[in-house]
Each structure stands twice: as structure tokens, then as C-alpha cells.
Structure 1
Amino acid sequence: MEQNQNLNSSNPSVALIVGVTGMAGFSLAQALNSHHSHTWKIHGVARRPLPTWFPPSLLHNFINFDALNSTDTLAKLSPISHEVTHVFWLAFQLYDTEELNVAKNSAMLRNVLDVLTKASPSHLRHVTLQTGTKHYMGPIFDPSLAGKLVHHKPPFVEDSSRLPYPNFYYALEDLVASYSPALTFSVHRSSIIVGASSRSVYNALLSLAVYAAICKHQKLPFHYPGNEMAHFT
């Protein structure tokens, strides 16, 4: 989903990838580096140190800080705040309830955007936000709502109405939209992501690998465990 995107290609593009060591962040850093028609300067951000498997050559600079801490965020981002033109938000933290997810994830995004938009001068033009199919299914990991959720039926469509449950994806979209028209933004609701990351517990490739290993050990055929609806859910 895109809103008001009008990027000025004559200015140099400087990316801040928040969540760079995750599957999507790593792949995005690779993609920006291989962009033949456009040159990117890439700053990568993560809460923990850069893992040994991550090629540092993909980044101009790696910044390690906790976006929940506004003081830490200001201190670590201030040196580059005047040059960042694009934020790619791929970070999230999950808690026991969706109310906590809303509060914590909104605070992280707000802390980062506040530093960049208050820079003098600020060159921030666009925010790319990654969410997912929980937009259409509701807070499926909140135990207090187990068995109570009524979600949209697949296939999901971009302009489906919001569900009447707390959802930090909604909160992040609204937060980014609140900076418009000064900033443009786009929202990308990916479903299953398969990629390279030793940290992500949501990497479907790891689940498939474990399933394949079990099948091999049990001498069972490696059958696809889903059905035709899995293409949409």
C-alpha cells in the first residue's frame, strides 16, 4: 500500500534500515547494494551487535542501539540524522499482550522518526513500513483473545477494513501517516518470509528444514504439509 509517494531522485539516497540483521533487513541491504540504476548509502540499525555471519561490506555504517530508549536513540542517530532520506522499518518486538505490542512498537518508531524529522536540516522523505497478514487476521498471538478472533476470509485484499481488535500494525501505520504530508510512506504486508537469519524465530525455512529432517529420520516422504488455502493465508 503506497501513500503520496513523490521521491526526488535528484537528491542522494541515504537509507536507514531498522532491523537490518533480520531476514528482510539483510535481503534489503543486498538489494540496495545491487541496485544498478541508483546508488544508496546504507546505515543499518539493530538492537544487538552485528552477527558474525552478516557481511559488514553491505553497510556504510552499523549502529547498535535500543529504539525503546529515547535517549539512546537520540545519541546514536543524531550524527547521521541530517543525511537520512529513507527509513525502512523492519523491526518489531513482541510481548504477551497486543496492548503492550502497540505501546512498545509505537514508541520505537516514534523515537526514531522524531530524531530524524527534528534534525537541522532534515532530508527525510519517505518511510517504508513492513507489517504482515496479522493486519487481516488480528492479534493471533495474544492469549487473552484466543478463540475470540473473527478475521477476514482469504484471499486478503489491500483495502479490507480494519478488524475491531488492538493491532500494533494499525498503530504503526497511523503513526507514520501522522507525519504526512511532510513525509511520504508505503506499507508492505508480507506473509510468510523465507530468508537467511540465525535470529528470526519466524523464518519458515527453519520450520521446513526441521520437518524435512524429521521425515528423513522417520523414513517418511517429504510431503507438503499445507493445502491450497495456504497460498492465501
Structure 2
Amino acid sequence: MEKTALVVGSSGMSGNNLSKELLKQGWKTYGLSRGSRKDIEGVISLQADLLDIDSLKQVLAEVSPTHVFFTTWMRRGSEKENIEVNSAMVRNLLDVISEKKSVKHVGLVTGLKHYLGPFDAYVTSGVLPETPLREEQPRLSSPNFYYAQEDEVYAAAKRDGFTWSVHRPHTLIGNAVGNLMNMGTTLAVYASICKEENLPFIFPGSEAQWTGLSDVTDAGMLAKQIIWASETPSAFNKAFNVVNGDVFRWSWLWRKIAEWFSIEYVGFEDKIKPLVKTLEGKEEVWRAMAKKHSLVEQDLNKVSSAWHTDLDLSRPIEIMTDMTNSRTLGFDAYCSTTASFFHLFEQLKSGKIIPA
């Protein structure tokens, strides 16, 4: 039977890279997003509002996917609102698709806030999580929209009889400008500003992050694991962490990034220096750079997400991620973290997102 994928959130970093990998592996692929996106050749682009049932029914009327991959989310002002809107998005989509009787598997992408807490209480609870983070660690007591999304998938799976998988990447590195949590592009934009103004590349985070071990997830790695889990019976109905497979210290990687851009750097010194404040007032600098170098986006806020980079790099503990669940079942993909960052930087240059 032909494998037909519906990638929900196909314009985002994880959805974009997943769509490309599905096409590479020969899947018929539909991409659903709120905005009309047709930038991936071969993906059948669909546009709908996940909070509008009628919109979904109309757009999906002729679509009968065998696999649904949910890779999107929306941020609201509080975790209570995050839970309401993000659970509704998953529920609405799965309710509409339920009528098709075609779905065999649903994959859901969440992340490490499953272990670290939501935006409202991020790594601030009285007891910090034990690291490396492991899939069997229990849910936290605080409300979390990731848990609400999972529960919607579990309930629909019980009702409709499909299998599921949950994927928890660490910080995602990949090409998707405008993504709400895009550290790689944010650091590239910051480094480009430093180079333009002859300023040092200052590490914005905590001492624990500077000196401790860490890992990240290449968007391509995540895509490979999602597809693997959807086709491997022993992986059905399980949750998986997913990272590149190597570890690093920011004290090392920060230097490597600075060397790539040929700029000076400053490491952790006494206190956190938030990137949000460092980039404050740089909108006109970026606008001038965009004109000078013929960049495609003049709005600094559309190519950087300093707030989320600060959230990751200011954590008071080192964060490493254990991948036992998928490794023991045969998922053996690997990606060099420096290669992940440097490949992204090259893409950003060739795409005129940052200066060449």
C-alpha cells in the first residue's frame, strides 16, 4: 500500500526537514500549514487553520493519509492558554482525520520541556531533573502543553486503533527562518552583526551551560527518527529522545562558531548576559546590513529568536539526553554537531539570510 504522509506544520523547522526526508524516501507527502507554502518541490501544499474544524474538513476532504506527523505548536501568554490551544489543534486534526479510517500511525514532536518544565516554570522547580534526561522519567507536576498534546494522541489512538510515537528533540538545529525556537539561525545572525560592527561574540548564557556538557538535535536526525519509528513495529507506542549522538561544551562550540565567522569571542564572565538585551536596538543595524548585502529579510525579529536562545543557554544545569529507547531498537543514525551548525550557516549564506 502506498505510504501517504500528512505533515502538520510543514513550514516549520521539523516539518520542513521531515517533508524533504519523506520525499527522499519515496512517500507521497502532503504539507499542512496556516500559511500558503509551496517552497518544497514535490510536497502537496495545504492551507488550513487547525483551530477551525470546518476549514480542516474542507481542505482534507480528498486527503486520506496513512501516516500523520504533527510537528507544530502555538505559543500563548500562559501555560493554561498553551494547553488549551495546543491540545485543541491536535484534537481537531485527529477528529477530522478519524472519519477517513485510513491512518495507521501518528507521530508527535514535542521536546525537552517534557522534563524541564513549561515556559512558565522552566527549570525553576525546587528539584532539578536528573541528567542525562531519560524517556522513563515521570511527568512533572506542573501543567505542560506537551502532556496535553500527548494525551490527545493517546485518546485518539485508543478510539481509532492507530499506533503512535512521540519524539523529544533537544534544541533543534536546521533551516527554517521565522521558527519560534531557532537557535542556529539566531546565533548566525548575532555573529553576522558582530562581524559587521567589529564586536566580540559574547556568550549570553550561564556558567553551567558554558562549562557543562550539552547536546543538540539536527532537524535531519529528527526526521529520520520519526520515519523510522513509523515503520518499525518494535518502536510503536513509545516515546523517544532524539539528539545528534555526540556531546560538547559551549566553551568549545562557541569558539568554533566564532572561528567559522572569523570573529573574536568572549566566554562566560561572572554573570548571564542575555542576548535579548545585546540585540536590543540592533534593528536598524540589521536593516542597513540587509540593504548593503542584499539580504532577503530586513526585519531582525523575523530572522532571530533571542528569547528562546536565552532560555536554553541560561539553564542552571548541564543538559544531556539519553537515547536508550531508540538505540536498543536499532536506530543508529548520527550527526556531527559542528557539521550541523556549519551546514546551516552555509545554507543561510546561500539563501541570503546572512551576509556571504
Shorter-chain TM-score tier = 0.7 to 0.9
Tell me, yes or no, if structure 1 residue 193 matches structure 2 residue 172: yes
Match of 2:200 among 194, 203, 220: 220
> What residue identity is the alignment partner of 1:34?
K
> What residue identity is the alignment partner of 2:70?
W
| Shift in CA distance, 221/131, structure 1 to aligned 2, threshold 3 Å | closer
Normalised to the residue count of structure 2, the TM-score between the two structures is 0.55
Match of 1:180, SS state, is helix
Structure 1 Cα separation of the partners of residues 184 and 12 of structure 2? 14
C-alpha deviations, 1:187-216, integer Å up to 9, x for none?
Answer: 000111111112213111122113322443
Q: Please report how far the alpha carbon of residue 219 of structure 1 lies from its aligned counterpart in structure 2 after TM superposition.
A: 4.8
Structure 2 Cα separation of the partners of residues 211 and 183 of structure 1? 44
> What residue identity is the alignment partner of 1:20?
S
Match of 1:149 among 118, 125, 138: 125
Tell me, yes or no, if structure 1 residue 125 matches structure 2 residue 115: no
**Aligned twin of 2:37:** 50
Tell me, yes or no, if structure 1 residue 164 matches structure 2 residue 141: yes
The answer to whether the Cα contact below 8 Å between 1:212 and 1:222 also exists between their aligned partners in 2 is: no
Match of 1:26, SS state, is helix
> What residue identity is the alignment partner of 1:207?
T
The answer to whether the Cα contact below 8 Å between 1:29 and 1:58 also exists between their aligned partners in 2 is: no
The answer to whether the Cα contact below 8 Å between 1:78 and 1:115 also exists between their aligned partners in 2 is: no
- Counterparts of 1:61-210 in structure 2 under 5 Å? 61-80=44-63, 83-119=64-100, 122-139=101-118, 141-142=119-120, 145=121, 149-150=125-126, 151-181=128-158, 182-210=161-189
Q: Percent identity?
A: 34
Q: Please report how far the alpha carbon of residue 185 of structure 1 lies from its aligned counterpart in structure 2 after TM superposition.
A: 0.3
How many residue pairs match? The answer is 209
Match of 2:51, SS state, is coil
| Shift in CA distance, 191/101, structure 1 to aligned 2, threshold 3 Å | same
The answer to whether the Cα contact below 8 Å between 1:215 and 1:222 also exists between their aligned partners in 2 is: no
> What residue identity is the alignment partner of 2:20?
Q
Gaps of 5+ in 1: 1-10
The answer to whether the Cα contact below 8 Å between 2:116 and 2:123 also exists between their aligned partners in 1 is: no
Q: Please report how far the alpha carbon of residue 147 of structure 1 lies from its aligned counterpart in structure 2 after TM superposition.
A: 8.3
Structure 2 Cα separation of the partners of residues 170 and 16 of structure 1? 22
**Aligned twin of 2:261:** none
Give 1 or 2: higher helix fraction: 2
| Shift in CA distance, 221/203, structure 1 to aligned 2, threshold 3 Å | closer
Match of 1:45, SS state, is strand
**Aligned alpha-carbon RMSD (Å):** 2.2
Match of 1:44, SS state, is strand
Normalised to the residue count of structure 1, the TM-score between the two structures is 0.82
> What residue identity is the alignment partner of 1:192?
T
Q: Larger Rg: 1 or 2?
A: 2
Return structure 1 stretches of 4+ with deviation > 4 angstroms. 145-148, 221-225
C-alpha deviations, 1:111-167, integer Å up to 9, x for none?
Answer: 111111122xx110100000000000111x22xx47853441322101101100110
